[in-house]
Amino acid sequence: MDKKDRKKIEILRVLKEEGKLLTSAQIVEILHSAGVSYSERAVRMYLQSMDQEGLTRSQGRKGRTITPAGLRELQENDGARGLSFLSAKIDRMTYRMSFDLPTCSGEVIVNMSILPVRDLLECLDDICRVFQHGYAMGEMVSLLRPGENWQGTVIPPGHVGFCTVCSVTFNGVLLKHGIPMLSRFSGLLELENSKPSRFTEIINYNATTVDPLAIFIRAGMTNYRDALRTGNGLIGAAFRELPDESRPRVEGIIERMEKIGLGGFLKFGLPNQSILGIPVSEGYVGAIVVGGLNPIAVLVEAGKPVFRSWAISGLMDYHKLFRYTELPARLREM
């Protein structure tokens, strides 16, 4: 991919992730926040070219949106960006997240899966049990109705967009408090008697362009049925590192997040000590965070088709989320 094509892909990615009309000035600002420097004039030229190619659609001074052709172009080229793509996306979304813990307002990072409504209803009991057992990221979810547009994708008839909170939300909240969080990998966490035992499979974020948990879930490698029924199974989890001096503050922040339905820490280590056999960098403390896509694994294990699923899908206002206990009533309204 040449330099010109790479710039087009970066612009298309911004339009997709924002999911709304953007002007060239807004695109430049977002790219700059991600460490990519383009002039506004250059962005305007690329946008005009992409309009002609059918990759973007202009709506005058209001800005531009990505088209279905643009989404296909982005999907085809994402794999060619290099092996650091997912780790770079985590950092970018962490920076962009606006959620403010003291006021309980702003946007959090969510995952989104498109599912047949009937399948979600059939598996609803087990999905709710995933949340009850603390095997999901917090307690908050959201639903997108058929016909709603999310990041350029329209929810088809008979389906629902099921949104869960992404564990990268922790990174964003801690960054707002001046605490950097290093995301190292995701994997399959073995549970014994309902407690974390060891990671059986891991994929480093800086060595993949695809979310590791999505890979494991699609491959049918999780075992939530046994985890829910016997306490022994395999669930999705992520490994993080934080500065060791931040541990007392982080514990307080975790407690506050749990109270508003954004909990998800499974295990918190001690400074400079390994956690579940995973060595920790000098001057850091390890933490194991539950995977945000975990509720979707229940459907895959039950043989239900998942139309599409996106990890770290985008940003959603916290007030559009609701407790998972409301899912039955909300689904009946659809």
pLDDT, tens digit, 9 for 90 and up, residues 82-133 = 434 688 889 989 999 999 999 999 999 999 999 999 999 999 999 999 999 9
Report the distance separating Cα 199 and Cα 319, nearest Å.
34
Report the distance separating Cα 52 and Cα 39, nearest Å.
20
Report the distance separating Cα 79 and Cα 86, nearest Å.
10
Report the distance separating Cα 274 and Cα 260, nearest Å.
30
Q: pLDDT at position 274, please?
A: 94
Q: 232-278, pLDDT tens digit by residue?
A: 999 999 999 999 999 999 999 999 999 999 999 999 999 989 999 99
Antiparallel, parallel or unpaired: β 56-58 and 64-66: antiparallel
Q: pLDDT at position 82, please?
A: 43
Report the distance separating Cα 134 and Cα 285, nearest Å.
22
Instruction: Say which residue, 163 or 8, is predicted with more confidence.
Output: 163
Residue 305, Cβ density class (10 Å: 0-12 exposed, 13-18 middle, ≥19 buried): exposed
Domains and CATH numbers, the chain: 3-81 (1.10.10.10), 83-334 (3.30.70.1360)
Calculate the average pLDDT of the chain. Answer: 90
Instruction: Say which residue, 179 or 37, is predicted with more confidence.
Output: 179
Q: pLDDT at position 89, please?
A: 85
Q: 126-152, pLDDT tens digit by residue?
A: 999 999 999 999 999 999 999 998 877
Residue type at position 77: N
Residue 81 pLDDT > 60:
no
Q: pLDDT at position 72, please?
A: 84
CB neighbourhood size of 283 (10 A): 11
Q: pLDDT at position 34, please?
A: 59
Candidate from 63-67, 173-177, 241-245 with smallest mean pLDDT = 63-67
- pTM given for the model: 0.77
Give the DSSP H or E segment for 7: helix 3-18
Quick check: 99 and 169 in contact, CB under 8 A?
yes
Q: pLDDT at position 83, please?
A: 38
Residue type at position 239: F
Confidence of residue 33 (pLDDT cuts 50, 70, 90): low
Q: pLDDT at position 88, please?
A: 83
Confidence of residue 332 (pLDDT cuts 50, 70, 90): confident
The percentage of residues in the chain with a pLDDT greater than 70, rounded to a whole number, is 94
